Copies of this chain bind each other. A is one copy, B any other.
Amino acid sequence: MPKQTFFNLEPEKRQGIIAAAVREFAEHPFEQASLTKIVESCGIAKGSMYQYFEDKLDLYLYIVDLAYEQKKAYVGRAFSLEGDIFAVLSEYYRLSYQFALDHPLLHQVANKFWDSRSEALRAELEKGRLSRSRDFARVLAEAMAAGKVNPQLDPEAVFFVYHAVGKELIDHFHQGCNDEFLQQVLDVLKYGLQARD
């Protein structure tokens, strides 16, 4: 967590620091991101950074959190379509894509976070995965109870699959991804590979 000093800053300066950090962490994973470049890019002294944050990791986690909060606010509406799980999923990924278009840097920060292999970040990673699985698990359980979802499937396996595909979709957002392709991918998940009678 940032120190109090950081929050005492004039908002303008604070935003400048945040913006510079977002730029750097959007381009490089934690280990390769350079604090030196961040302070140069926003024109403050190296030492000042240590008045605001404990260390590089502290800054990083603050920025990742920020990116995630923004994304959650953006994407959360999808879950308001209660009842129709397929509409929820479609809207969820559509909004994720919109977010990536509107906030490419925040998108990249959040995205790069997931392939951090650093031990220091493992705990945070797991926490994030769990918190996101909760909403999904709830919607899935409801849909199963309502008989809308294939009852022979293992809910955990379903989450695993959607998580994997979601990650890959998000990874490929930067290459462009029209609504049609998105819909086709979701259809694969919805109808399954095997031909129906």
> Could you list which residues of chain A lie within 8 angstroms of chain B, going by C-beta atoms?
29, 31-32, 85-86, 112, 115, 117, 147-154, 156-158, 160-161, 163-165, 167-169, 181, 184-185, 187-196
Contact = CB atoms under 8 A, between A and B. Distances in A.
27 contacts: A32-B32, A86-B193, A115-B115, A147-B195, A149-B194, A149-B195, A150-B193, A151-B195, A152-B191, A153-B184, A153-B188, A153-B191, A153-B193, A154-B187, A154-B188, A156-B181, A156-B184, A157-B184, A157-B187, A157-B188, A158-B193, A160-B165, A160-B185, A161-B189, A164-B165, A164-B167, A192-B192
Total copies of this chain within the assembly: 2
Contact of A31 (B32, B152, B154, B167): B32
Nearest to A165: B164
Nearest to A32: B31
B168 A188 contact: no
Nearest to A159: B188
Contact of A189 (B85, B115, B163, B192): B192
Nearest to A192: B192
